[in-house]
Amino acid sequence: MKQIKTLLIAAILLFGANQTINAQAKTAHVDVSEIMAKMPAMIDAQKQLEKLSGTYDANYKKMVEEYQTKLKKYDAESATVTEVVNGERSKEVQDMQKRIVDFRDNAQKELQQKESDIVKPLMDKVRASIQKVGKAKGFQYVLDGSTLLLADGPNLTADVKKDLGF
C-alpha cells in the first residue's frame, strides 16, 4: 500500500512537472528596424523618397526666391507708385505666401502618403517572413527586439534576413 501511495505521488509530481514544462511558451526576438534598414527594397524606396523630396525642396526654394525677389522689388517701388498699385501688389504677395504654404503642406502630405504606400507592403513581407521563420523553428511568440529591455532568447533576425533573400 505504501509503495502504491509513493508511486501515485511520483506520478502526480511527474505529470505536474510535465504540464509546467509544456506551459512555458517558446519565445524569440527579432530586430525589425534592422531588417527594414538593410532590406534592399527599403533602401531603394528611401532613394525614391529622397529624390521626390529633393524635387519638392527645389520647387519650394524657387517659389520662395521668387517671392523674396518680388517683395524687394515692390518695397523699393512702393514710394513711387499709387496706393491702388500698392494694394494690388500687397494682395499678390499675400496670394504668393498662401501658394507657398499650400505647396509645402501638400508636398509633406504627398511624401507621407508615398512613404506609407511603399513601406506597408515591405513591412507586410517582413511580418510574413517572421511568422514563417518563427513557426518553422517552433516559437509561439516572436518579439520585436528593437524595444526589448532584456533579450535572453534566440535572435531570429539573421534567419528572417536569409528568408527574405539578403
Residue 1's pLDDT is: 57
For residues 149-153, give the mean pLDDT: 61
Cell of 4: 502504491
Q: What is the mean pLDDT of residues 70-75?
A: 92
Which residue, 29, 53, 35, is CA-closest to 109?
Answer: 53
What is the structure's pLDDT at 23?
A: 47
Question: 68: which residues sit within 8 A by CB, 6+ positions away?
Answer: none
| Segments forming the whole domain that contains residue 133 | 2-164
What pLDDT is stored for residue 17 in this prediction?
47
Residue 50 has pLDDT above 60, yes or no: yes
Report the domain count for the chain.
Answer: 1
CB contact at 8 A, 105 and 63: no
DSSP label at 126?
Answer: H
Q: Which long-range contacts (CB under 8 A, 24 or more apart) does 71-79 make?
A: none
In a 3-state reduction of DSSP, which class is residue 130?
A: helix
In percent, how much of the chain has pLDDT > 90? 59
Give the model confidence (pLDDT) of 107-131 as tens digits.
999 999 999 999 999 999 999 999 9
Q: Report whether pLDDT(94) > 50.
A: yes
Number of residues that this document lists for the chain: 166
pLDDT for 143 equals: 85
Lookup: cell for 50:
529622397
The sign one gets for the Cα dihedral 136, 137, 143, 146 is negative
Provide the mean pLDDT of the chain: 86
Give strand ranges (E) for the chain.
27-30, 141-144
